[in-house]
A = this chain, B = another copy of it.
Amino acid sequence: MSSRSAGRGEGRPTLEAVAALAGVGRGTVSRVVNGAAGVSPRARTAVEQAIAELGYVPNRAARSLATSRADAVALIIPETETRLASEPFFASIIRGVASELSETELQLLLILVSTERERRRLAGFLDGRRVDGVLMVSVHADDPVAELVESTGLPTVLGGRRSELEPLSYVNSDNLGGAWSAVRHLLGLGRRRVATITGPLDMEASCVRLEGYRRALEETGVAVEAGLIAHGDFSEESGERAMAELLVREPAVDAVFCASDLMAAGAMRALRQAGRRIPTDVAVVGFDDSPLARHTEPPMTTVRQPSEEMGRAMARLLLEEIAAPGRSHRQIILSTDLVVRESA
């Protein structure tokens, strides 16, 4: 009605315009738009018609301002370009999160943090209350980013945990069981000099996979030897290097369990260079079941972790946490399973 808005020409239709056209008040339109109860069928119809006619779409900034909700969640990936691109794990997580979120009104903000600058920027961002919750994957033990997020008090769900007493909600895959079954498989094949290449030990997943390796060995009465344990950082190069070391240290090694497919691929390369046949001389098992595992020569036996489902579960948990902020934190463990191909 105000001559002001009439004079502004091309502005998009507002709630007020819809109300005017439908011949009702703003409150009623708002109720209809938000699906609130207490609107007569007649009014509802009139409003819906007006909305359709005007092509009205609510202005989110205005809504956010009024409700102090952001209608968005952030997915934080504190990793380098290399890992992001080389590990399909992240893409799967993203996909899972996105698909779960697509059922809701929430937007997905992607935040990659690799430099110190980006970390500082993140701090300001989170304080600006631009998101209702945070998802974060690939958390290292003393990750300053994780601590930053935790300190904001925003609803948060991690993919993986920082330690056994992780205070935040998280979704994890059964790393222990996965590693255990991989090594059991190797032992079942009659291998007795079973080595392992671990991931970075400041990540809980790495430690737990190592623990699974240990337990499988112990259970079978095979001694755990320090010489059979080498360390990597999940990258292919580190796997290659670690395998080369193992070969020097323990020439009799006849199997190796790697904490990631990428490292397993590196290990396979090192083995090939050393003239060892896979799996005849040395059996290899990876972890992740990334697409890569099917391309190696021979195709890799590996532990599948349901990464897309992890993303979905993370999103679901976050939604719950946003809905009921008081509730205590929860965790979800997703099971893994061994995919037997030809490398072991």
* Interfacial residues, chain A to chain B (CB-CB below 8 A): 12, 55, 57-62, 64-65, 68, 70, 72, 75, 81, 84-86, 88, 90-92, 94-95, 98-99, 102, 107-112, 114-115, 117-118, 121, 124-125, 127-130, 236, 265, 269, 291-292, 294-297, 308
Known A-B contacts A59-B65, A65-B61, A124-B57; A291 and B85 likewise in contact (beta carbons under 8 Å): yes
In the complex the two chains form, is B94's CB within 8 Å of A117's CB? Answer: no
A151 to chain B, nearest CB (A): 12
In the complex the two chains form, is A127's CB within 8 Å of B55's CB? Answer: yes
In the complex the two chains form, is B124's CB within 8 Å of A81's CB? Answer: no
In the complex the two chains form, is B81's CB within 8 Å of A95's CB? Answer: yes
Which residues from chain B contact A72 at a C-beta distance below 8 Å?
A: 109
Known A-B contacts A65-B62, A102-B117; A130 and B110 likewise in contact (beta carbons under 8 Å): no
Which residue of the partner chain, among B60, B111, B291, contacts A108 with CB atoms under 8 Å? Answer: B111
Which residues from chain B contact A81 at a C-beta distance below 8 Å?
A: 92, 95, 99, 308
In the complex the two chains form, is A92's CB within 8 Å of B85's CB? Answer: yes
In the complex the two chains form, is B295's CB within 8 Å of A129's CB? Answer: no
In the complex the two chains form, is A265's CB within 8 Å of B295's CB? Answer: yes
Which residues from chain B contact A118 at a C-beta distance below 8 Å?
A: 102
Which residues from chain B contact A55 at a C-beta distance below 8 Å?
A: 127
Known A-B contacts A65-B59, A121-B102; A12 and B129 likewise in contact (beta carbons under 8 Å): yes
In the complex the two chains form, is A95's CB within 8 Å of B91's CB? Answer: no
Which residues from chain B contact A65 at a C-beta distance below 8 Å?
A: 59, 61-62, 65
Report the bound CA distance from A291 to B265 in whole Å.
11
Report the bound CA distance from A84 to B85 in whole Å.
11
Report the bound CA distance from A12 to B124 in whole Å.
13
A179 to chain B, nearest CB (A): 23
Report the bound CA distance from A151 to B90 in whole Å.
32
Known A-B contacts A65-B61, A91-B90, A128-B58; A108 and B109 likewise in contact (beta carbons under 8 Å): yes
Write the chain B residue with the least CB distance to A294. B236
Report the bound CA distance from A296 to B294 in whole Å.
10
A127 to chain B, nearest CB (A): 4
Report the bound CA distance from A30 to B110 in whole Å.
28
A sample of 25 inter-chain contacts (CB < 8 A) reads A55-B127, A57-B129, A58-B128, A59-B129, A60-B128, A61-B65, A61-B68, A81-B308, A84-B92, A84-B94, A84-B95, A85-B91, A86-B88, A88-B88, A91-B91, A94-B112, A102-B117, A107-B125, A107-B130, A110-B110, A236-B294, A291-B292, A292-B292, A295-B296, A297-B297
Which residues from chain B contact A130 at a C-beta distance below 8 Å?
A: 60-61, 107
A12-B127, A98-B112 given; 20 more Cβ-contact pairs under 8 Å: A55-B127, A58-B128, A61-B65, A62-B65, A75-B110, A81-B92, A81-B99, A85-B95, A85-B291, A88-B88, A98-B110, A99-B114, A102-B118, A107-B109, A109-B109, A236-B294, A236-B295, A265-B295, A269-B295, A295-B296
A109 to chain B, nearest CB (A): 6
Which residues from chain B contact A128 at a C-beta distance below 8 Å?
A: 57-60
Which residues from chain B contact A95 at a C-beta distance below 8 Å?
A: 81, 84-85, 112
